[in-house]
Amino acid sequence: MEETEQRYAYSADIPELDDVDVLIIGGGPSGISAAVAAARLNVRVRLIERYGFLGGNLTAGLVGPCMTSYSLDGSQQLIRGVYEEFVQRMMAIGGALHPSTIPAGSAYCGFIVYGHDKVTPFEPEAAKVVAQRMCLEAGVDLLLHTMVVDAIVDDCEAVNPRILGVVCAGKGGLRAARAKVVVDCSADGDVAHFAGVHTRQGRDSDGLAQPQTLFFRVQNVNDQVVEEYVRSHPEDYRPYASIVAKATAEGRFPAPRRGIGLYKTMEPGVWRINTGRVLRRNGADAKELTLAEIEGREQTVALLDFFRNNLPGFEKVELRDTATQIGVRETRRIDGDYELTLDDLRSGRSFEDVIALCGYPLDIHDPTGSGGGTGGDAPATANIYQIPYRVMLPRYHDGLLVSGRAVSATHEALSAIRVMPPCFALGQAAGIAAALSVGNRASPRHVDYEDLRRELLAQGAYLG
Ligand SMILES: Cc1cc2nc3c(=O)[nH]c(=O)nc-3n(C[C@H](O)[C@H](O)[C@H](O)COP(=O)(O)OP(=O)(O)OC[C@H]3O[C@@H](n4cnc5c(N)ncnc54)[C@H](O)[C@@H]3O)c2cc1C
């Protein structure tokens, strides 16, 4: 399928959904949190999600564990609020372990120490049901199986164009969905992009973004043998690194990686595998994503074969499942009122509009090769750093907040705050800000920070 330069003019009268106050696009960590937080402030909230279930990378991506919600040294829990409630509720149905019980270097952390103290192991099926319950109990109107394909903008030529809603597509065809405030939690900044918000992708030097990985889970692993092998090879920077290095040198390793990314799950013999790597594919382009999915699936088949024949503990391994879609680490980042930088993270800079505290370090997978990840030669971040509200405000547009992975940050800073607990924290702040904006009839840009802070604290967030 080749796209041509030719344009095709198309216009249509489309049915309109009933209006709501706040429209959340995307039901991943940031979207779930935004929807719950906003609905608890008694505004009418609708969440539109393209899949038939909530969770985003938590579920469709099979991504896990949730990286740390603590300070880098593991001493303070920073991300609480909706995230903590989400974890507690998964624990109550046997679907998660509390991060306070998971030390750095354990099998649940992929045996990684730096930046991996107090991660949250969880089961994707528990995440699906808990996310759904939390949204419905808060009064969120869920619209699943619906993909947003355009933005409705008041006056594109205005200095500050206002987003009035979105156009979405489902089995019934196109629909208009309008709201007083739209929160883009699509991770790719889809609404922002459709509305004409300026966005950037990848690193400054060449625009290349972090690579993609198709997560899969395996079963029938001998947990004890894996633990014993990894612990008896401390010289390996990542699990099985020397076996991978030899195979790579001999042209036998099927992905550009320097070790095996493997995370024990709560079920004996079952591990999540984060080892495939697809380079140089744009995750915000369907054609490129198609190629990435094809490559990711072939890597999975080859990796399984490699595991079986080369890795102690994996002799009888079987495939449990692959993710619904390949994991996309990085696409569009909006140009916001403030751009979070590496310096902010290194210095632990204080912001007067702080909405989240985080401790996860830089985590840049090499866009062109096998290196990267946490630790190594990446610059160190502060034990605790802050994220300001302004990273969620597109610089020239009104009526729109962008939360989760597409916020305004440099390639380096985003590599740290993109993990799931910070996305929950960002989402909670976006949801509250959207609700306050509706209540005050003011644009999100003019939400009073003291009100936002007060509501965040009332909803259990921690701001130091
Ligand atoms: C390979 C990989 C490994 C990772 N490892 C970890 C890890 O171990 N731990 C960790 O904490 N984080 C990890 N991350 C990071 C983390 O998963 C994401 O950055 C995080 O999930 C982003 O949250 P989000 O809410 O912004 O978006 P997402 O989780 O991507 O959710 C976005 C949601 O929006 C929906 N959506 C998108 N576009 C549209 C549209 N146009 N219309 C309707 N719905 C739409 C999607 O279906 C999805 O449900 C990893 C990421 C990847 C890709």
Can you spell out the DSSP letters for 350-419? --TTEEEEE-----EE-TTSS-EESSTTSPPPPSSEEEEGGGGSBTT-BSEEE-GGGSSB-HHHHHHHTS
User: 29 with 82, same domain?
Assistant: yes
Domain count, the chain: 2
Atom number in ligand 1 closest to CA 406: 26
Q: Which of 322, 352, 381 is the last residue of a domain?
A: 322
What local confidence, expressed as pLDDT, does residue 2 receive? 65
What separation in Å is there between the alpha carbon of 227 and the centre of ligand 1? 29
Residues 199 and 238 in one domain: no
> Which residues, at least 6 apart from 46, have a Cβ–Cβ distance to it below 8 Å?
17, 20, 22, 23, 24, 140, 141, 142, 143, 177, 179
Whether 197 and 232 share a structural domain: no
Nearest atom (ligand 1) to Cα of 421: 11
184-220 pLDDT per residue, tens: 999 999 999 999 999 999 999 999 999 999 999 999 9
Report DSSP letters for 55-69, one per residue: -GGGTTT---SB---
Q: Do 163 and 223 sit in the same domain of this protein?
A: no
| CB distance 211 to 366 below 8 Å | yes
Mean pLDDT estimate for the chain:
97
Contact (Cβ atoms closer than 8 angstroms) between residue 363 and residue 421: no
DSSP class of residue 187 equals S
> How far is the centre of ligand 1, averaged over its atoms, from the C-alpha of 184 (Å)?
13
On the 0-12 / 13-18 / 19+ scale of CB atoms within 10 A, 379 is: exposed
If you take atom 20 of ligand 1, which residue's CA is the nearest one? 420
Q: Which of 364, 357, 311, 87 is nearest to 204 (CA)?
A: 364
Query: How much distance in Å is there from the Cα of 122 to the middle of ligand 1?
Result: 16
- Which of the 8 DSSP states describes residue 217? E
- In ligand 1, the atom with minimum distance to the C-alpha of 149 is 41
Same domain for 317 and 335, yes or no, is no
Average pLDDT of adjacent 10-residue blocks, the chain of 464 residues: 82 96 98 98 98 98 98 98 98 98 98 97 98 98 98 85 97 98 98 97 96 98 98 96 97 97 98 98 97 98 98 98 98 98 98 98 95 89 98 97 98 98 98 97 95 98 97
304 and 199 share one domain: no
Please indicate, yes or no, if residue 431 is contained in any of the structural domains. yes
**44 & 106 share domain:** yes
In whole angstroms, what is the distance from residue 163 CA to residue 165 CA? 6
Output the CA 158–ligand 1 centroid distance in Å.
Answer: 32
In a domain, residue 211? The reply is: no
Per-residue buried b or exposed e for 419-452, using 16+ beta carbons within 10 Å of the residue's own CB: bbbbbbbbbbbbbbbbbbbbeeeebbbebebeeb
Residues 6+ positions from 16 with CB-CB distance below 8 Å: 175, 176, 177, 178
15 within domain boundaries: no
Instruction: Give a yes or no: residue 4 inside a domain.
Output: no
64 CA to centre of ligand 1 in angstroms: 11
| Closest C-alpha residue for ligand 1 atom 13 | 419
Give 208: exposed, middle or buried? Use CB within 10 Å, 0-12, 13-18, 19+. middle
Structure confidence at residue 453 (pLDDT)? 98
Q: How far is the CA of 316 from the centre of ligand 1 (A)?
A: 31
How many Cβ atoms sit within 10 Å of the Cβ of residue 68? 28
Which of 48, 186, 300 gets mutated to test ligand 1 (max ligand atoms within 8 A of its CB)? 186
One domain, residues 125 and 273: no
Residue 11 lies in a domain: no
* pLDDT given at position 3: 73
Of 322, 355, 383, which closes a domain?
Answer: 322
Mutational test site, ligand 1, from 108, 387, 420, max ligand atoms within 8 Å of CB: 420
Best residue among 23, 46, 47, 57 to mutate for probing ligand 1's pocket (most ligand atoms within 8 Å of CB) is 57
Same domain, 110 and 182: yes
Residues near 220 by Cβ (< 8 Å), separated by ≥ 6? 269, 316, 317, 318
Strands in 271-273's sheet, in edge-to-edge order, are 262-264, 271-273, 216-219, 318-322
DSSP 255-299: SS-SS--EEE-SSTT-EEE----B-S--TT-HHHHHHHHHHHHHH
- Check pocket membership of 112 for ligand 1, CB cut-off 6 A: no
Residues 241 and 387 in one domain: no
Residue 376: predicted pLDDT:
84
The CATH number for 355's domain is 3.50.50.60
Cβ(62) to ligand 1 under 6 A?
no
**Which of 322, 343, 361 is the last residue in one of the domains?**
322
Say whether both 202 and 220 belong to one domain.
Answer: no
Using alpha carbons only, what angle is made at residue 165 by residues 186 and 404, rounded to the nearest 5 degrees?
20
The whole-angstrom separation of Cα 331 and Cα 311 is: 33
Helix (H, G, I), strand (E, B) or coil at 5: coil
pLDDT at 1: 55
Structural domain for 231, as ranges: 216-322
Structure tokens at 449: 């920070």
Contacts of 36 (CB under 8 A, 6+ apart): 82, 134, 135, 138, 140, 428, 431
Q: Which two tokens stand for residue 250?
A: 């001999």
CB-based burial label for 76 (10 Å; 0-12, 13-18, 19+): middle
230 in any annotated domain: yes
Nearest CA to ligand 1 atom 37: 186
Taking the centre of ligand 1 as the mean of its atom positions, its distance from the CA of residue 415, in whole angstroms, is 13
Residue closest by Cα to atom 12 of ligand 1: 419
Whether residues 115 and 258 fall in one domain: no
With a 6 Å cutoff on the Cβ, whether 25 touches ligand 1 is yes
Q: 28 CB less than 6 Å from ligand 1? A: yes
Q: Is 107 in the pocket of ligand 1 (CB under 6 A)?
A: no
CA of 30 to the centre of ligand 1 (A): 9
Specify if 9 maps to a domain: no
Cross-strand pairs, 409: 340
Q: Does 1 reside within a domain?
A: no
Which ligand 1 atom is the nearest neighbour of the CA of 26?
Answer: 34
Q: Count of H helices and E strands in the chain?
A: 11, 17
